[in-house]
C-alpha cells in the first residue's frame, strides 16, 4: 500500500503548501534576500519535488549568490522534470557562463531553438553565446601565434605623449609618489581618468615587481605594530576610500593586505586597481595583494572588468591585466602564524605551506588542485568536505581546518570570497575567519563591509564594520557582458 501511495505523488495539501512557500520565496527574492528565498524554495521542493519551477527559481537565487554549482544542479533537475521549460535552460546556461563553460551554455540554447524554432529570445541568446564561443576560439588561435610574447614588453611608453590639456596627476621621474597617489584618489573621486601613459607605466612596473615574488609571501609584523587585512572590494571605489578614511592611508607604519577580488561587478574597478597598484609601488614592503578568483580572464570577461578597461582604455590593456594577474601571489603568511588566502583550504589532506610556495602560478587557474582551491574554496559548518556550491573548489569543515593548522603550526586562517551580513564571520571554533570589504555589495545585498586589524604580538583579530557610502549613479555590472543581464531576467 505504501508503495502505491508513493506513486501518486504529493497530496493536495502539500501542493497547496508548496505553492504558498514558493510565493513567499518570490517575495524574498524580489527584496534581494536570496538566502531566505532559497530556504523557502527548498521547503517548497520538499513538499512538491515534481515542480520544475521551484528548482529553476532556486537556481536563479543561487546564481545571484554566485553558488554556480548549486545553480547548475537545480537547473539540470528542472530540465529533467520538464524538458520544454525554457527558463531552466537559461538558468543552466547562466551557470555554465559564470564557470567559463561557454560551449555547454551554447548547447542548451541549441536545444531550446530546436524545440522552439519561433522563440526569438532564444535565438538572440544563442547568437550572443555563439559570438563568445567564436571569439574565444579566435583569441586562442591568436595566442598560439603569440606564444612567448609578453604584452608588457611590446608597450612603447616613449611613443605616448601627454597632451597639454591633461590636468591629472603625474608620475615623478616615472615613479609613484605619495603626492601622486593622493592626487590620483581625488581625481578619481571626480570621475576623471589617469593618463594612459602613466597607467601603462604603473602596470609594467607592478608586473615586474610581482614576477619576483613567491606564490606564498611571508609577512613580518613587529610586536607593537598594527596590520590590516581587507577582503573583496569588487570595484566599489568610494567604499575603498572610506576604508582609508576610517583606518588611515597605507604607509610604512600602517601596512595593509588586500585579499583578492579587487575588480568586477562594481563599476569603478579601474579606479580601485590603479589606486591599489600605486600603493603597492609606493610601499612594496608594507602593502600586499593576493589573487582572487576574479583576477582571472573568464571572470573579467563576464563580470565587467574586461569591458570597463576596454571602455576606459584599450583591449590591449585588458590583456596586459590578464598577464599581470597571473603573477599575483596566491597567499600570505603573517608571522608564521596566520595564513591568508582568498578562497580557502584543500580537497586533499597533508597540504603544506611549502606546497603552496611551490605552486607555479603564472597561468589561469586550473579547475582543481591547490591553486584553484586557494582561490575558490569555502568553509562549511559540518565536518568533512563537500562538493563546492560554486562548482569550483571544495567546501571544508572545522576538522579539515584544525588538521591543516596543526600540520603547519598555524593559529588560524583568514579568507574572503563570501558576502557576510556584518562584513565578517568567525567560524570553525575561531580558526577560520571570513572578511568581506564591499558593503551593500552590488548596491543590493544590504551587508556591512569590514576589515581586520591586529598587532604583531597577539595577532588577535579586531573587526571594524562599516556601511556603504554614496557613489555616483553608475550601476553595478555596468560593464558586464550583455549576456549576463539577459540570463538574470
Superfamily of domain 2-143: Tetratricopeptide repeat domain (1.25.40.10)
Running DSSP on this structure, what letter comes out for residue 447? P
Q: What is the pLDDT of residue 8?
A: 61
Alpha-carbon radius of gyration of the chain: 24
CA 290 to chain CA centroid, nearest Å: 12
Cell of 249: 592611508
CA distances, 304 to each of 151, 212, 226, 263, 307 (Å): 21, 29, 34, 8, 5
Domain 153-485: CATH architecture, name and number where available: 4-Layer Sandwich (3.60)
Looking at residue 179, what is its pLDDT?
A: 98
pLDDT at 5: 45
pLDDT of residue 97: 84
Q: What percent of the chain clears pLDDT 90, i.e. is strictly above it?
A: 80
Does residue 288 carry a pLDDT above 70? Answer: yes
Pairing verdict, β 338-341 and 331-334: antiparallel
With beta carbons less than 8 A apart as the criterion, state whether 433 and 228 touch: no
Can you tell me the distance from the alpha carbon of 74 to that of 90, in angstroms, rounded to the nearest whole number?
A: 12
Is residue 3's pLDDT more than 60?
Answer: no
C-alpha 373/C-alpha 392 separation (Å) is 8
pLDDT range class, residue 144, cuts 50, 70, 90: low
Kindly state the average pLDDT of the residues 259-274.
97
Q: Which helix (H) or strand (E) holds 432?
A: strand 432-435
User: C-alpha distances in angstroms, 232 versus 192, 256, 281, 299, 342?
Assistant: 24, 13, 20, 14, 9
The C-alpha atoms of residue 430 and residue 414 are separated, in whole angstroms, by: 10
Tell me the average pLDDT of the chain.
93
In this predicted structure, the answer to whether residue 266 has a pLDDT above a threshold of 60 is yes
Cβ atoms of 334 and 355 closer than 8 Å:
no
pLDDT in tens, 47-92: 999 999 999 999 999 998 889 999 999 999 999 999 989 889 989 9
Span 188-245, pLDDT tens digits: 999 999 999 999 999 999 999 999 999 999 999 999 999 999 999 999 999 999 999 9
Which of these, 327, 373, 326, 331, lies nearest to 354 by C-alpha position?
331
Q: How many CA atoms lie within 13 A of 295 on its CB side?
A: 33
Percent of the chain with pLDDT over 70: 96
Q: Would you state the pLDDT for residue 483? A: 65
Residue range 329-344: mean pLDDT, rounded: 98
pLDDT (tens digit per residue) in 347-399: 999 999 999 999 999 999 999 999 999 999 999 999 999 999 999 999 999 99
Res 7 pLDDT > 70: no
Q: Is the pLDDT of residue 414 over 80?
A: yes
Q: Does 332 participate in catalysis according to the annotation?
A: no
Confidence of residue 124 (pLDDT cuts 50, 70, 90): confident
The CA-CA-CA angle for residues 482, 314, 256, to 5°, reads: 90
Considering the candidates 195, 234, 294, 342, report the single residue annotated as catalytic.
294
Topology match between the domains 2-143 and 153-485: no
- Mean pLDDT over 440-450 rounds to 93
Q: Are 228 and 256 in contact (CB under 8 A)?
A: yes
pLDDT of residue 143: 67
Residue 139 predicted with pLDDT over 80: no
CA distance 201 to 445: 36
CB 230 within 8 A of CB 244: no
Domain ranges of the chain: 2-143, 153-485
pTM: 0.92
Q: How far apart are CA 458 and CA 452, in angstroms?
A: 14
Mean pLDDT of 270-284: 98
Amino acid at each position: 500500500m505504501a508503495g502505491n501511495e508513493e506513486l501518486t505523488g504529493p497530496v493536495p495539501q502539500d501542493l497547496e503548501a508548496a505553492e504558498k512557500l514558493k510565493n513567499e520565496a518570490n517575495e524574498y527574492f524580489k527584496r534581494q534576500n536570496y538566502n531566505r528565498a532559497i530556504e523557502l524554495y527548498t521547503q517548497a521542493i520538499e513538499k512538491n519535488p515534481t515542480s520544475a519551477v521551484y528548482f529553476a527559481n532556486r537556481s536563479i537565487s543561487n546564481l545571484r549568490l554566485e553558488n554556480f554549482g548549486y545553480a547548475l544542479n537545480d537547473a539540470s533537475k528542472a530540465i529533467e522534470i520538464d524538458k520544454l521549460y525554457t527558463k531552466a535552460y537559461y538558468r543552466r546556461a547562466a551557470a555554465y557562463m559564470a564557470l567559463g563553460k561557454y560551449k555547454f551554455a551554447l548547447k542548451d540554447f541549441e536545444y531550446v531553438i530546436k524545440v522552439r524554432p519561433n522563440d526569438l529570445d532564444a535565438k538572440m541568446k544563442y547568437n550572443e553565446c555563439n559570438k563568445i564561443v567564436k571569439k574565444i576560439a579566435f583569441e586562442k588561435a591568436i595566442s598560439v601565434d603569440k606564444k612567448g610574447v609578453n604584452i608588457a614588453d611590446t608597450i612603447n611608453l616613449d611613443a605616448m605623449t601627454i597632451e597639454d590639456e591633461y590636468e591629472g596627476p603625474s608620475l615623478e621621474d616615472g615613479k609613484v609618489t605619495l603626492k601622486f597617489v593622493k592626487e590620483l584618489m581625488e581625481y578619481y573621486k571626480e570621475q576623471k581618468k589617469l593618463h594612459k601613459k602613466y597607467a601603462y607605466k604603473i602596470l609594467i612596473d607592478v608586473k615586474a615587481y610581482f614576477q619576483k615574488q613567491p606564490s606564498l609571501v611571508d609577512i613580518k609584523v613587529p610586536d607593537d605594530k598594527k596590520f590590516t587585512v581587507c577582503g573583496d572590494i569588487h570595484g566599489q571605489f568610494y567604499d575603498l576610500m572610506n576604508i582609508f578614511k576610517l583606518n588611515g592611508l597605507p604607509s610604512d607604519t600602517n601596512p595593509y593586505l588586500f585579499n583578492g577580488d579587487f575588480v568586477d561587478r562594481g563599476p569603478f574597478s579601474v579606479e580601485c586597481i590603479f589606486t591599489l597598484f600605486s600603493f603597492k609601488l609606493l610601499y612594496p614592503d608594507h602593502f600586499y595583494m593576493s589573487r582572487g578568483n576574479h583576477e582571472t580572464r573568464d571572470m573579467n570577461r563576464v563580470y565587467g572588468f574586461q569591458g570597463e578597461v576596454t571602455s576606459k582604455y584599450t583591449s590591449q590593456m585588458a590583456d596586459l591585466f590578464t598577464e599581470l594577474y597571473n603573477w599575483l601571489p596566491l597567499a600570505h603568511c603573517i608571522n608564521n602564524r596566520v595564513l591568508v588566502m582568498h578562497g580557502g583550504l584543500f580537497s586533499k589532506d597533508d597540504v603544506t605551506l611549502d606546497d603552496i610556495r611551490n605552486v607555479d602560478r603564472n597561468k589561469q587557474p586550473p579547475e582543481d588542485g591547490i591553486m584553484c582551491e586557494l582561490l575558490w574554496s569555502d568553509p562549511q559548518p559540518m565536518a568533512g568536505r563537500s562538493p563546492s556550491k560554486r562548482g569550483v573548489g571544495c567546501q571544508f569543515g572545522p576538522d579539515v581546518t584544525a588538521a591543516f593548522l596543526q600540520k603547519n603550526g598555524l593559529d588560524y586562517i583568514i579568507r574572503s570570497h563570501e558576502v557576510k551580513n556584518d562584513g565578517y564571520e568567525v567560524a570553525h571554533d575561531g580558526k577560520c575567519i571570513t572578511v568581506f570589504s564591499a558593503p551593500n555589495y552590488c548596491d543590493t545585498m544590504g551587508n556591512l563591509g569590514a576589515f581586520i586589524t591586529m598587532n604583531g604580538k597577539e595577532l588577535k583579530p579586531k573587526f571594524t564594520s562599516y556601511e556603504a557610502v554614496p557613489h555616483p549613479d553608475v550601476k553595478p555590472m555596468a560593464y558586464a557582458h550583455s549576456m549576463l543581464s539577459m540570463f538574470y531576467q
